[in-house]
Amino acid sequence: MNLFHTFLANRQEHSSESAFLVTSGDRSVSISWGQFTDDIAVVAELIRADRPQGAVALLGENSYEWIVAHAACLFTGVTVVPIDVNLNPEQIAARLRKVRAAVLVHSSLYAEKARAAHNMCAGVLIASFGSVKTDLVMALARERLRFGKKSIWEDAPLERNEEAISMIVFTSGTTSMPRGVMITTQALESFIDYASERLDIRAGNRSLMILPLQHIFGMCVAYLLLSKRAAMGVCPDFRRLYDAVERFRADFLFLVPALAEILAKKISQKYVSAEAAFGSPLQWIAVGGAPLHRRVHDNLTILGVKVLGAYGLTETCSEYSLSNSSDVSLPGCAGLAARTGGVETKVSENGELLIKGPCVFKGYYEEPQETAKVMTEDGWFRTGDTGKIDEMGRVWVTGRISRTIVLDSGKKVSPEELEMRLMELPGIQECLVYEIDGTRTIVAEVYSQSSQKTVQRHIDELNKALPVYMRIRKVFTRDEPFPRTTSGKIKTGGKCREL
């Protein structure tokens, strides 16, 4: 598919259909494809009139305006750099300098951070969604388009280099230093084609923009839904997930495990099913970013929600494996491996999941040596994850190579495998398994509201069922949940006390 032509066709043939649903007081207001593409054209006109000599960075919560700005950059050939809203001003400034950003566009909610970062970056212009100045500039651009200036939709389609760098998306940095991943429009289109084959998404369906747009999974899902003409309810605050699903009557959702757990807990507090909670069926949820714990999977199944597995990385534009929406839901399965549209997947001799094809990134920005480390000579990307692909083509991710504990005996222990086992124990809400400072001592750090003795007793029972080399030798407990990244992944570290 061609993303630009898809948007143009939706504008011409489905102008009055809803592209977005936004909250206005106690009502939901529809934004049509006509208005959406008009707004993209206005921002694109600003970009074309004053062509930025560098990338455009976006800093803001999930919003309609964020998507408009992002799409305008894509369709005018300007590299766009999403910025994590949880970064401090110094970190934001460092990323702006690294990618040589020309402009930082921000929402009013993050104006203070944006101004502080701007003061550290000489030559970077700053603009705000919805400010008086921005509204004035956009009004002038709108007038130019109204009185004869051709918009991007009316010009003869430009020859677009689908393999040119359209986005630089920084990795989360949970296991290494954050790196700028160079992504093409072709990679985004590859994900859309692939997901469209697997998922039953139809025009007129409703879903939510809930995943953070600064992360690749959120961006890919947003463009997938737009391409399929499913209306998106805008949910800027994941803490209001339940309310947003109820308000917008979502047919399906894309979530990370932490959000899936929140949703299951909220529903089960008052209702026996998702349909009873929301007044209409929640057909399925696709969970990516990390494995979903079995008890959450089982809880959602009991509530009448099918759970689909999804797996991908920033470097693969979220593509590697995805369940069919008609599949039987299997706990722990990351879906069917991508093997169409020029994409190939396989497992290396040492058990690492590999992928090649148009979805794979063009490298880490200005880090060729780091890029070379993750690419084979014949073009396969090393995911850094261990796993297997069974005879049915289903993917099972077993762990992260960088986290693997290698014992003195040479045996290897996957912390993720132990974490999954721990999460099946009564009372354990969160956990992290690691070794202490290269001592080969396997440690579990646990957040639980059960007593220390109860937690220890359950882990002692688990140890009896484990091979000797996999047994957990020390257990620590936390007084509060683990800190998480905005994609829902647990950050390592933090104070703990020994049981």
| Core vs surface per residue 384-416: b (16+ CB within 10 A) or e | bbbbebeeeebbbbbbbbebbbeeeeeeebbbb
Look at residue 209 in the predicted model and tell me its pLDDT: 93
Tokens of 318: 């979220």
Alpha carbon distance 315, 313 (integer Å): 5
Q: Do residues 407 and 439 make contact, with C-beta atoms less than 8 angstroms apart?
A: no
Exposure letters 53-71 (e unless 16+ CB within 10 A, then b): ebbbbbbbbbbbbbbbbbb
| Token representation of residue 255 | 């979530």
The predicted structure's pLDDT at residue 446: 94
**Cα dist from 182 to 189, 314, 379, 405, whole Å:** 15, 9, 16, 31
Closest by alpha carbon to 218, among 137, 288, 114, 119?
288
Q: Which residues pair with 354 in a beta bridge?
A: 346, 382
Distances (CA, A) of 255 to 65, 88, 262, 269, 411: 22, 25, 10, 20, 35
- Distance between CA atoms of 309 and 327, rounded to whole angstroms? 10
Beta bridge partners of 435: 442
Cα separation values, 336 from 170, 198, 379, Å: 26, 9, 22
Strand partners, 231: 206
Helix residue ranges per DSSP H, 285-347: 294-302
- Give the burial string for 217-229 (b: 16+ CB within 10 Å, else e): bbbbbbbbbbbbb
Nearest to 336, CA basis, from 358, 316, 355, 310 = 310
pTM: 0.88
**N-term to C-term CA, the chain:** 56
Query: Does residue 33 contact residue 11 with C-beta atoms inside 8 Å?
Result: yes
Per-residue pLDDT tens, the chain, 499 aa: give them: 899 999 999 999 999 999 999 987 777 899 999 999 999 999 999 998 888 889 999 999 999 999 999 999 999 999 999 999 999 999 999 999 999 999 999 999 999 999 999 999 988 999 999 888 888 888 989 999 988 889 999 875 555 677 789 999 998 765 557 899 999 999 999 999 999 999 999 999 999 999 999 999 999 999 999 999 999 999 888 788 898 898 899 999 999 998 999 999 999 999 999 999 999 999 999 999 888 888 899 999 999 999 999 999 999 999 999 999 988 889 999 999 999 899 999 999 999 999 999 999 999 999 999 999 999 999 999 999 999 999 999 999 988 888 888 887 778 888 988 998 999 899 898 999 998 876 778 999 999 988 888 999 999 999 999 999 999 999 998 888 888 776 667 775 443 433 3
Task: State CA 144 to chain mean position distance.
Answer: 37
The CATH code belonging to domain 404-498 is: 3.30.300.30
Sign of dihedral through CA atoms 162, 165, 171, 175? positive
pLDDT at 82: 97
CB 56, CB 81: distance < 8 Å: yes
> What is the predicted pLDDT for the residue at 449?
84
The residue with tokens 């930025």 is 52
Sort 259 into a burial class: Cβ within 10 Å, 0-12 / 13-18 / 19+.
buried
pLDDT of the residue at 322:
97
**What is the pLDDT, as a whole number, of residue 176?**
58
Q: Which pLDDT score, from 0 to 100, does residue 239 have?
A: 80
Tokens describing residue 280: 């209409």
What is residue 240's DSSP assignment? G
Q: Are 275 and 307 in contact (CB under 8 A)?
A: no
- So what's the pLDDT on residue 408? 76
